[in-house]
Structure 1
Amino acid sequence: MSDIAGEMMQPSRAEIAAAGDSAIALAAQQVTGGEWDAIIGSFDEVCQEQMHAFASTRWPGVSQEPVVFQRGGTVVGGALVMIQPLPVGMGRMAVVKWAPMLASASAPDAEALRLAMVDSLAKDYSEKRGMMLSVLLHASASEINKGYVALRQRGFVRGSTLLFPNRYVVRLRISDDELRRSFHQTWRRQLNKAEKSGLEFARAEPEGIETFKTLYAAMTERKQFPDHSAYETLDALMALDEPLRPELFFVRHEGEIVAGALVFKAGKRAVYLYGATNDKALPLRAGYFLHWHVIRWLRDHTRAEWYDLGGTDGFQGLHQFKAGMVGTAGVIRPVPPVLNYATSPWAWFIGTAAFTARDILQHTRRHIDALRSTKARPDQEPYVWDESFK
């Protein structure tokens, strides 16, 4: 944690950010990690990667600077800024992943507020502190990612793109009948069979996480999928208080747990974090049964409007399963490229070089793993981002 965490930023950091036809005055305040996690629990756009409890475990060598934005004394959003040191002391860069987050995504000037927050961050981290600011936005439920367009117009430059950026998002605020009609025919047929298999669904208490871990370990060994997830953060997530603590669900057959899921439920977008099955789950179609009931539970017990199933890591089988569940009511949208901004030529050079080196290293590792490993290999073509699509 930075030694200035928890202190109010100097008055010069309260920026006036141009957004649309009006100017939005935002006051920026840096808070502690604990304060940050307590504040963002009520945000519409909260996500696990923006939680201090998650980020400090996932990226222990990176310092965290949680920044809260207020307008007229009311919190309107914020961003957990990660300060990444670059090799051999060449400098630092500021990374913002899945943010800035809005406290109210339905505010009439929501996108203008997002741009105002980004503008404040750009002025602080790039113009004043001489870093490159790197922002990765969420996949948008809308066809055009307005946040991406606004940042490009603000002067941010397109950077790295994920190999498989598509995210599969189920619409929650519809009836059971509408949900079932939305599913692709094959997915609906598999669900019908699962419902005749004597399966039982239940929400579990947090203490059940050890049972889930056992199930997950057995599954990854059986399926031989390479695990690029943040599984090491599981204990930190389950130690959180409501509403940030994920929900745990199990499916049983004749008293035996055959499938489980861990789901982040805070905010307007619930997220499927981890799933696990045993070797009996496939013939029972337990995965279909599990997700059907998770969808209904989220709709009936949370304020979430969407259920984000995540991506596929390049596996066509996962694409077919998730696309069938998304159906006609949900959406499949790509995470946009990273957007970078710097006013210092040196910060731009070393920041861009660092991203390029990281991309080359990650792609090389994946290629070597595919050649040497017995694990399953991706069978989807990498996604090509079309800038005209936004």
Structure 2
Amino acid sequence: MPSATLTFAAETAPKAPQLASARPAELTMQSIAPAQWDGAVAAFDEVCQEQLSSFASSRWPGVVQEPVLFYRGEELVGGCLVMVQPLPLRLGAIAVTKWAPMLRDTEHPDAAAIYRGMIDALTAEYAERCGMMLSVLPRASLGADNSDYAHLLSRGFRKGARLLFPNRYLVNLQLTDAEHLQSFEQKWRYHLKRSERADLSFEVAGPEQFDAFNALYEQMVDRKRFPDHSAFDTVRELMMLENPLLRPELFFVRHSGEIVAGAIIFKAGDRAVYLYGATSAEALELRAGYFLHWKIIGWLRDNTAACWYDLGGTDGFQGLHQFKKGMVGARGLIRPVPPVANYAARLWPRLVGETAFAGRELLHRVNRWIDRLRPDRAKPDQHRRP
């Protein structure tokens, strides 16, 4: 566990005197209690579901949560929920940071230097002082190159596991309705127009209606006979969060008064994220998914601070790729999640850490292979997030 307050000098960004981000920054790392963490980072630009203590507690109950905040002077500039995973036989532990460290303000003039400073602080604490392997997974970059991942490699981190299908589909929320319609691919726009003639209605539902979504989701999984390895069992707890910024939003589409499609969206931060979707058997003919996402795009643009709508990945299914690619359109982005980056200051933590990750990756691939061999396996619904 990091001490209450540690101070680190952030590495200066590459020389570019005209850029404010090139200035060095000195950061203080301060640990806080997991119970305080979610509220402390609720307004961060880079906050995400996986960085919430409430999510991690139910998704990964065996890890030790060590949340830390980063300050530059009196200014809160970032944070990271470090999850310490003990290894079997007391061989050691791995410090995991997924989609982190997080910037409080991605438009901060010193954002690049702050990120470097946070990596320096985490490396010094977990890899050097505590003797663990530090594993960092940056989020997908909006730029053509992922500067966060490039920095990790330049600092001595080693390339780790990569998602089999790393692309993330990002819809631009900074457009008007007319600009969105122009951005959508022609086929996506065609299906949307058909859905608008199907007498569908859109509604924003409260958390008290989660049971209706849960029933629809279970019906869809049974109908599709699709193995669900997701974290869906954590959603109910997230829907009960008291903080309205962090509580996911629930949406429904109805036809003749009956729910035919629904979606749960994490709306905090600068990227809203599609968590789960569910549809009835009638939804495909009604094109309800097109109508649902069209309405969600407008709602997120008008009611949140998000600039992008992250649709997640495709799990390798061409139908999902075509649906999401058509919605991303000409004004959105398709960007890959980089591989995991691992760092260990000593040989033993590196050996046991990389061995543990390799074993887990092998298990995941075997399970995926078994799933694909199932004779009764059906294609996923186009609105389920892999």
TM interval, shorter chain, is: over 0.9
Aligned to 2:291: 289
Deviation of 1:294 (Å): 0.1
> What per-residue deviation string (whole Å, max 9, x for no partner) do you get for residues 210-262 of structure 1?
00000000011112222222101111101112100000000011111110010
User: Aligned equivalents of 2:346 and 2:179: distance in 1?
Assistant: 53
What is the aligned counterpart of 1:273 among 258, 275, 281?
A: 275
Aligned to 1:82: 83
What is the aligned counterpart of 2:12 among 19, 22, 28?
A: 19
What is the aligned counterpart of 1:263 among 257, 262, 265?
A: 265
Aligned to 1:189: 190
Greater shift in the superposed pair: 20-29 or 328-337 = 20-29
Give the aligned residue type for 1:9: S
User: Aligned equivalents of 1:9 and 1:174: distance in 2?
Assistant: 45
1:202 paired to 2:196: no
1:9 paired to 2:3: yes
Aligned to 2:148: 147
Alignment check: 8 A CA contact 2:173 2:309 kept:
yes
Alignment check: 8 A CA contact 2:23 2:110 kept:
no
User: Aligned equivalents of 1:246 and 1:10: distance in 2?
Assistant: 32
Aligned to 2:170: 169
Three-state SS of the structure 1 residue aligned to 2:371 is helix
Aligned to 2:59: 58
Aligned to 2:352: 350
Deviation of 1:23 (Å): 2.9
Greater shift in the superposed pair: 14-23 or 347-356 = 14-23
Alignment check: 8 A CA contact 1:251 1:290 kept:
yes
Count the aligned residue pairs. Answer: 371
Aligned to 1:137: 138
Over 3 Å counting, the alpha-carbon distance change for 1:220 and 1:294 in structure 2 is same
Over 3 Å counting, the alpha-carbon distance change for 1:49 and 1:373 in structure 2 is farther
Three-state SS of the structure 2 residue aligned to 1:14 is strand
User: Aligned equivalents of 1:355 and 1:324: distance in 2?
Assistant: 35
Three-state SS of the structure 2 residue aligned to 1:152 is helix
Three-state SS of the structure 2 residue aligned to 1:61 is coil
Give the aligned residue type for 2:190: R
Deviation of 1:376 (Å): 3.1
> What per-residue deviation string (whole Å, max 9, x for no partner) do you get for residues 122-163 of structure 1?
000001000000000111111111111111111111110011
Give the aligned residue type for 1:317: G
Alignment check: 8 A CA contact 1:78 1:102 kept:
yes
Alignment of 1:1-390 (within 5 A): 9-11=3-5, 13-20=6-13, 21-240=22-241, 241-372=243-374, 374-376=376-378
Deviation of 1:365 (Å): 1.5
Alignment check: 8 A CA contact 1:226 1:376 kept:
no
Three-state SS of the structure 1 residue aligned to 2:335 is strand
Greater shift in the superposed pair: 133-142 or 360-369 = 360-369
Three-state SS of the structure 2 residue aligned to 1:134 is strand
> What per-residue deviation string (whole Å, max 9, x for no partner) do you get for residues 20-65 of structure 1?
1543211111111121100111101100000000011100011110
Aligned to 1:381: none
Seq. identity, %: 55
Normalised to the residue count of structure 1, the TM-score between the two structures is 0.93
Over 3 Å counting, the alpha-carbon distance change for 1:72 and 1:372 in structure 2 is same
User: Aligned equivalents of 2:113 and 2:227: distance in 1?
Assistant: 40
Greater shift in the superposed pair: 108-117 or 124-133 = 108-117
> What per-residue deviation string (whole Å, max 9, x for no partner) do you get for residues 297-334 of structure 1?
00000010000000011111111111100001101111
Aligned to 1:382: none
Deviation of 1:192 (Å): 0.3
Alignment check: 8 A CA contact 1:370 1:377 kept:
no
Three-state SS of the structure 1 residue aligned to 2:11 is strand
Structure 2 regions of 5+ residues with no counterpart?
14-21, 381-386
Give the aligned residue type for 1:344: R
Alignment check: 8 A CA contact 2:203 2:253 kept:
yes
Deviation of 1:377 (Å): 6.5
Structure 1 regions of 5+ residues with no counterpart?
379-390
Greater shift in the superposed pair: 152-161 or 282-291 = 152-161
Over 3 Å counting, the alpha-carbon distance change for 1:298 and 1:377 in structure 2 is closer
Alignment check: 8 A CA contact 1:19 1:113 kept:
no
Greater shift in the superposed pair: 221-230 or 207-216 = 221-230
Deviation of 1:372 (Å): 3.8
Deviation of 1:374 (Å): 2.0
